[in-house]
Structure 1
């Protein structure tokens, strides 16, 4: 992941910050980033360019953390993920398979 001009698979520029879903532990310092397994077994991190997109595409009322690109890289270094989806509906209303980091 490059901090200069990072682009998504669609060719659109990566937003400078994204909202990433977390677990809902009452203590914010104990929350963890939520990752998911996709059908082919890879691990995916879903991120959203705005809180309303997280609300619309992910699960309503989900807690989140604001991440810039260096933070996404740090998350990847600590708990590698194979895919980074931005503003994508993971279909969680039907499927609840997830991994917490």
Structure 2
């Protein structure tokens, strides 16, 4: 299976840590791996995190820098946070 190509820039959800610094929002998966969910359009991010959720716009080179600073195991493009039940059965 071919990997989908990343667009030149992606929208990445962020969080504010206890020190007030913005960080990329990582997700720990059930198997223990850490994933960074990225989105090709702001409306796709908002469908998953809600309108007004903080985000950053990153280029592919900036994604690489982010990975070097805070490693993650998977980079997931336009993925649902909570896959629908019918998708799990289909």
TM-score under structure 2 normalisation? Answer: 0.80
Equivalent residue for 2:79?
A: 88
Matched, 1:17 2:9: yes
Higher helix share: 2
Give 1:59 shift.
Answer: 1.0
Rounded Cα–Cα distance in structure 2 between residues aligned with 1:38 and 1:10: 22
Equivalences, count: 80
Equivalent residue for 1:96?
A: none
- For structure 1, the residue ranges without an aligned partner over 5 or more in a row are 1-8, 92-101
Higher strand share: 2
Equivalent residue for 2:56?
A: 65
CA RMSD of aligned residues (A): 2.0
* Aligned residues of 1:24 and 1:62 also touching (Cα < 8 A): no
TM-score under structure 1 normalisation? Answer: 0.71
Give 1:12 shift.
Answer: 2.3
Rounded Cα–Cα distance in structure 1 between residues aligned with 2:35 and 2:3: 19
1:50–1:43 distance in 2 versus 1, CA, 3 Å: same
- Structure with higher Rg: it is 2
Matched, 1:30 2:21: yes
